Amino acid sequence: MIRDVRTTRSIAPESMDDHSINPSDNIPFRKVLEQRYPRRQVLAGGLGLASMVLFGRAFAFSDNGSGSPRPSLLGFDSVPTSTADTLVVPEGYSAQVMIPWGEPITGDFPAFDISNTSQQQAMQVGTHHDGMHYFPIEGDDPWQGSSLDGLLVLNHEYCEPRLMHAAAQGQVLGSFQAPVKPDGSRDADEVLKEMNAHGVSIVRIRLDASEQWQVVPDPRNRRITARTGMSFSGPLRGHESLRTRFSPEGTRSRGTINNCSHGVTPWNTYLTCEENFWFYFYADEPGRLPPHLTRYRVGVAALWQWHRAGDQTEEAARFDITPRSSSPTADYRNEANGFGFIVEIDPFDPNSTPVKRTHLGRFSHEGVVFAPVVEGQPLACYSGDDASGEYIYKYVSRDVYRKATASGALLDEGTLYVARFDDGGSGHWLALVPGQNGLNADNGFGTIQNILLNTRGAADIAGGTPMDRPEWGAVDPGTGQVYFTLTNNTSRSPIDTDGPNPRGPNHFGQIVRWSEEGPHHATRFHWDLYVIAGPTHESRDLNGEPLTPDNIFAMPDGIWFDADRRLWIQTDMPESSVNRDPYTSLGNNAMLAADPDSGEIRRFLTGPVGQEITGCVSTPDQSTLFINVQHPGGGVTSAEQFAAGEHSSHWPDGGDSIPRSATVAIRKRGGGKVGS
């Protein structure tokens, strides 16, 4: 699908991380199980028994040590799969749509209209909502405090230009295609509007007497965009690779892009993660780019041609990384080096400068999740690199965590590890450090700066295990086990499968989990597969049983544990595949809830046409669960349909409206914890 770096129509959004789907290459699922587990185990009990061999139990005990099974964590009836253009929650629940793209939150509070300017967009919620956290308004603790009043902080992953501009309406524009002038240039304000629709929104919300969440004007309401000033910290700060015309000293950057999932620090700040940063940059000669760019696909496509924003300032031109002068501090050849990081934001200080924490590695960060902190011990956090055959990483701080003094400085000095999953259920964390695991000056990794700049290349040499597109991670608050979604990988060959990635090609994804051998900063772990996703005939739950119509799903992406240990699972099948073979039985993207002990899974929610469900967090009392519906309609609407004003989705406004990404607040009628 990716053919030409000069056009805005050469790449399909769903091909960003994966290749096209070819079900004819699939291998029999029984063979997968036989490869993954000894035949005796498959015959004796399947995946569930194998899991029990590794972890000793696959059913739920009570927490009181009595040893008797406890009631299910799941107290709702599963909703059926759906192909409808609506959002469905279980009987007894309400769902409030809030802060759709364009909702005013700050400044002059300009009302939403498709003709809004870039300036107005900068005062409104961005688009393509993704990772999200609810910070109780007290500002003391990310998980404790008011369940009625807080700062909702959410990412905006990318945009769909044809749905954003008044002048685009009526034009023959395909998905992801931006309106381009006859000379190939872009309208400057349209480009700035797209930049301002990216990034992060910080918005105060309060539950009113009728149990509706309302936006509250507040000085902390803020938009952080692809244009907001940021600084670098950690080993790459000031490194020659980050020197640009904007920041000759290599310490500052402008903006954050492709903010997918997120993280929450123990010291009450928000982390936004830069995922597919590569498709924003243009180069005259992509074949001559260095490995720390080509290893990340930089140069393959400049999707929206931001660098061609007419007579716009260098703010847009910086997305052209072709050397155009005699010095790196006189052009933007290094601009792409400043993306692919995790960015820390203090939502309670509207004047704070976001910080790109370079020691957490540079790759297509999906999200980041922290292990529970222990006073006096190093902290650990985990992040996946979402692309086919990429890795899972862990960062361990050099200094120990102390609640009284903890800050982002803990993320600046430490050790980054890549995961190696060995067949049989064991695993090792391999340090990405000069002089260890094959990294040295001879292969270009003699400094920590070179390792972080090309984290993927370093992990290749160290021997990380290529995974089936690592997406979100979540840590079980009861056991400390770490769960990661592996969403799919249709480019994995049948002869290249392994324990945690047992299918090649892998159309449906799986969830892997592991326990550290000791504290979370340990260097060995033990893993198993929690669930192998897919239709009934292609899936296995924790008990070795196929999934059923009540819980079949594919392409797990977002996952999150609530305080009761309910594991929420969100799906992201590409729009071009949903409701087509081999996904026909699975319906629209959905959200499920799972019991980590019993392996029970039920479908909780189904979304409208063409979207993915992503972002998941509750209020501290679990009475409201916030989720996001991203890119309704998405790529389903053809260019011709778009020109005729026919949208495949009209969610959430209905009628003949254009679809908009939005947050949904889910509550149990009559009160109570969502999911219980």
Residues binding ligand FEO (CB under 6 A): 157, 260, 275, 366, 386, 471, 557
d(C-alpha 311, C-alpha 195), whole Å: 16
Neighbours of 389 (CB within 10 A): 15
Per-state percent for the chain, helix, strand, coil, to nearest 5: 15, 25, 55
Residue 186 corresponds to which amino acid? R
d(C-alpha 229, C-alpha 355), whole Å: 9
Task: Output the smallest distance, CB 603 to ligand FEO, in A.
Answer: 21
Which residue, 19 or 526, has its beta carbon nearer to Ca ion?
A: 19
Task: Output the smallest distance, CB 486 to ligand FEO, in A.
Answer: 11
Task: Output the smallest distance, CB 51 to ligand FEO, in A.
Answer: 26
CB 260 within 8 A of CB 157: yes
Task: Output the smallest distance, CB 357 to ligand FEO, in A.
Answer: 19
Which residue, 192 or 264, has its beta carbon nearer to ligand FEO?
A: 264
Residues 258 to 277: which contact Ca ion by CB under 5 A?
A: 260
Task: Output the smallest distance, CB 538 to Ca ion, in A.
Answer: 19
Residue 157 binds what, of ligand FEO, Ca ion, none (CB under 5 to 8 Å, by partner type)? ligand FEO
CB burial string 147-177: b at 16+ within 10 A, e below: bbbbbbbbbbbbbbbbbbbeebbeeebbbbb
Which residue, 215 or 260, has its beta carbon nearer to ligand FEO?
A: 260
- Residue 421's beta-bridge partner residues? 427
CB 672 within 8 A of CB 662: no
Residue 468 binds what, of Ca ion, ligand FEO, none (CB under 5 to 8 Å, by partner type)? none
CB 660 within 8 A of CB 192: no
d(C-alpha 428, C-alpha 418), whole Å: 8
C-alpha 252, offset from chain centre: 25
H-only helix segments in 328-462: 448-453, 455-462
What are the contacts of 246-255 at 24+ separation with CB within 8 A?
A: 246/314, 246/318, 246/332, 248/329, 250/334, 253/229, 253/338, 253/339, 253/356, 254/226, 254/227, 254/228, 254/229, 254/230, 254/315, 254/318, 255/195, 255/198, 255/199, 255/225, 255/226, 255/227, 255/228, 255/230
Which residue, 321 or 613, has its beta carbon nearer to Ca ion?
A: 613
Task: Output the smallest distance, CB 559 to ligand FEO, in A.
Answer: 12
Task: Output the smallest distance, CB 16 to ligand FEO, in A.
Answer: 8
Close Cβ partners of 43 (under 8 Å, ≥ 6 residues apart):
none
Cα–Cα distances in angstroms (integers) from residue 82 to residues 112, 421, 608, 626, 668, in the given order: 30, 36, 8, 21, 21
Which residue, 346 or 390, has its beta carbon nearer to ligand FEO?
A: 390
Task: Output the smallest distance, CB 557 to ligand FEO, in A.
Answer: 6
Q: Which helix (H) or strand (E) holds 121?
A: helix 118-121
- Helix (H), strand (E) counts: the chain: 10, 30
What is the DSSP secondary-structure string of 181-227? -TTS---HHHHHHHHHHSEEEEEEEEE-TTS-EEE---TT-EEE-TT
Which residue, 153 or 430, has its beta carbon nearer to ligand FEO?
A: 153
Which residue, 194 or 366, has its beta carbon nearer to ligand FEO?
A: 366
**3-state secondary structure (DSSP) of residue 282:** strand
Q: Rule CB under 5 A: is residue 14 a binding residue for Ca ion?
A: no
Strand order in the sheet with 612-618: 93-98, 662-668, 624-630, 612-618
Which residue, 190 or 275, has its beta carbon nearer to ligand FEO?
A: 275
Task: Output the smallest distance, CB 612 to ligand FEO, in A.
Answer: 8
d(C-alpha 92, C-alpha 100), whole Å: 24
- For strand 355-357 and strand 229-233, is the pairing parallel, antiparallel, or unpaired? parallel
Which residue, 13 or 414, has its beta carbon nearer to ligand FEO?
A: 13
Which residue, 471 or 600, has its beta carbon nearer to ligand FEO?
A: 471
Residues 571 to 590: which contact Ca ion by CB under 5 A?
A: 572
Site map (CB under 5 A) of Ca ion, residues 533-572, x = contact? ------------------------x--------------x
Task: Output the smallest distance, CB 206 to ligand FEO, in A.
Answer: 30
Task: Output the smallest distance, CB 51 to Ca ion, in A.
Answer: 25
**3-state secondary structure (DSSP) of residue 667:** strand
Residue whose structure tokens are 């904007």: 246
Which residue, 42 or 273, has its beta carbon nearer to ligand FEO?
A: 273
Which two three-digit tokens encode residue 510?
A: 């799986």
What are the contacts of 444-452 at 24+ separation with CB within 8 A?
A: 444/291, 448/235, 449/235, 449/236, 449/239, 449/241, 451/416, 452/234, 452/235, 452/236, 452/358, 452/359, 452/361, 452/362, 452/416
Residue 18 binds what, of Ca ion, ligand FEO, none (CB under 5 to 8 Å, by partner type)? none
Task: Output the smallest distance, CB 293 to Ca ion, in A.
Answer: 23
Which residue, 224 or 260, has its beta carbon nearer to ligand FEO?
A: 260
d(C-alpha 261, C-alpha 666), whole Å: 20
C-alpha 174, offset from chain centre: 24
Task: Output the smallest distance, CB 272 to ligand FEO, in A.
Answer: 12
Which two three-digit tokens encode residue 231?
A: 């600084």
Which residue, 199 or 235, has its beta carbon nearer to ligand FEO?
A: 199
Task: Output the smallest distance, CB 632 to ligand FEO, in A.
Answer: 16
Which residue, 194 or 600, has its beta carbon nearer to ligand FEO?
A: 194
Residue whose C-beta lies closest to Ca ion: 572
Residue 275 binds what, of Ca ion, ligand FEO, none (CB under 5 to 8 Å, by partner type)? ligand FEO
- Using CB under 5 A as the binding criterion, the count of chain residues that bind Ca ion stands at 3
Q: What is the DSSP letter of 459?
A: H
Which residue, 252 or 262, has its beta carbon nearer to ligand FEO?
A: 262
Task: Output the smallest distance, CB 275 to ligand FEO, in A.
Answer: 5
- For strand 388-390 and strand 392-400, is the pairing parallel, antiparallel, or unpaired? unpaired
List contacts with Ca ion (CB under 5 A): 260, 557, 572
